[in-house]
Amino acid sequence: MITHPRTEELVEAVAGWIDAIRPSLDPRNAFLARVAANALATVRRELTQGPAAEAAAVARMSEVLGRTGGYDELNGELCARIRTGELTVETPGLLAALRVMALDQLAIDQPNYRHEGS
């Protein structure tokens, strides 16, 4: 059977190559290479952590909204209901759900961010 590298492995390999050549680059291109490597690291985390974070967010939003659905649908409804004031800080489970969803997204986007309580 033919196997090929997984997407996250390819992203990691390219990021590693960029990091390997970065010291030989002029300052501007070294900076741009660092930006590219950081972007690839975010893509890798999205590929590896994103599905679990999305599934957990769907479960939390479903609980708060009292119904099931897909991520985009539930997220749109949650935002709309917060915007109209139908859901507030007094809504049971809302703040806890938003906090965990934000921390899950931060783990992907900014893994070195240290939030209070960590």
Q: In whole angstroms, what is the distance from residue 44 CA to residue 54 CA? A: 15
Q: In whole angstroms, what is the distance from residue 113 CA to residue 105 CA? A: 11
The CA-atom distances, in angstroms, between 14 and each of 24, 40, 47, 77 are 16, 8, 15, 38
What is the pLDDT at residue 4?
Answer: 84
Enumerate the domain spans of the chain: 7-109
Please give the angle made by the CA atoms of 107, 15 and 11, to the nearest 5 degrees: 75
Written as tens digits, the pLDDT of the chain (118 aa) is 678 888 999 999 999 999 999 999 999 999 999 999 999 999 999 999 999 999 999 999 999 999 999 999 999 999 999 999 999 999 999 999 999 999 999 999 998 888 776 5
Taking 3-state DSSP, the helix, strand and coil percentages for the chain, each rounded to the nearest 5, stand at 75, 0, 25
**Contact call for residues 23 and 55 (beta carbons, < 8 A):** no
